Amino acid sequence: MKKIRTIKIIWHENILFFYLITSLLVIGIFPLFVWDKVAFFKLLKQWHHPMVDCIAPYCTWLGDGITYLSFLCIVTLLHATCRKAIVIAGSFGIMSMVVQLLKRVFFRGTLRPMALLPVDEPLHLVDGVSLPIDFSFPSGHAATIFSLISVLQLLYSSKKNIYSLILLGIALMVVYSRIYLCQHFYTDVYVGAWIGTMAAVIAYISVMDYNGPSWLDRSIYFLLYTHGKRFSIKK
């Protein structure tokens, strides 16, 4: 009962964000029934623009694991509590384990667009972007960016609607860039988005709903100072 009550509170506090992200993920399942993944990929790739060619390679790196870990370091430097840091790290850990397990164990033979499209297929490519051919499903970048925006939404004290819209807009740009740059099929980014979102929610509920020791709600600086002081005394 306590978990259900916690979930209701979280939903109410972030109602616009969860309404929008749930709508996107529910509506987003329909292309999977209408087109096969190669046909839908070719349909999405029909449009391209020189400006997007310049922006997409940089935009896609927002979904990289290095970006997520950099965010964790920044939060740590800003005197975040240990609890919040654990939520951020836990979300990344859950998301990474699920993605890598699916990518390298259950779907290790799933190929990327460049391996499945005909050689003579007229396809717009962006110069300087590498084109891997394996470990396509699911998209790690999509999972990472959706995990990151979900954590930001849940942990940030301000729940203004404009922030939710900006976060979702950034996530959509990143997942679209993965298709635009011929890195993934729509199926890959769609499932990645689900994984990232669920990982963040699970980590947040598990950690924030756990009473635990008092140091969880202290800053990381306090924890390091305390242990450092004890170490100095013993030495």
* pLDDT for residue 216: 75
Find out whether the peptide bond into 122 is cis, omega within 30 degrees of 0.
no
What is residue 139's predicted lDDT score, i.e. its pLDDT? 95
Task: Report d(CA 216, CA 93) in Å as an integer.
Answer: 18
Please report the pLDDT score of residue 221 as a whole number: 67
Q: Where are the domains of the chain?
A: 2-118+136-234
Widest pairwise Cα distance in the chain: 71
Helix (H) or strand (E) holding 205: helix 186-208
User: In the prediction, which pLDDT does 85 show?
Assistant: 87
Q: What is the mean pLDDT of each run of 10 residues along the chain (235 residues)?
A: 73 88 92 91 90 92 90 78 88 95 92 85 86 92 95 85 91 95 95 95 88 73 59 48
pLDDT at 211: 79
In terms of residues, how long is the chain?
235
CB 9 within 8 A of CB 205: no
pLDDT at 8: 80
Contacts with 168 (C-beta within 8 Å, 6 or more apart), sequence order: 17, 20, 21, 24, 149
pLDDT of residue 231: 47
Q: Whole-angstrom distance between the N-terminal and C-terminal Cα of the chain? A: 48
The whole model's pTM is what?
A: 0.89
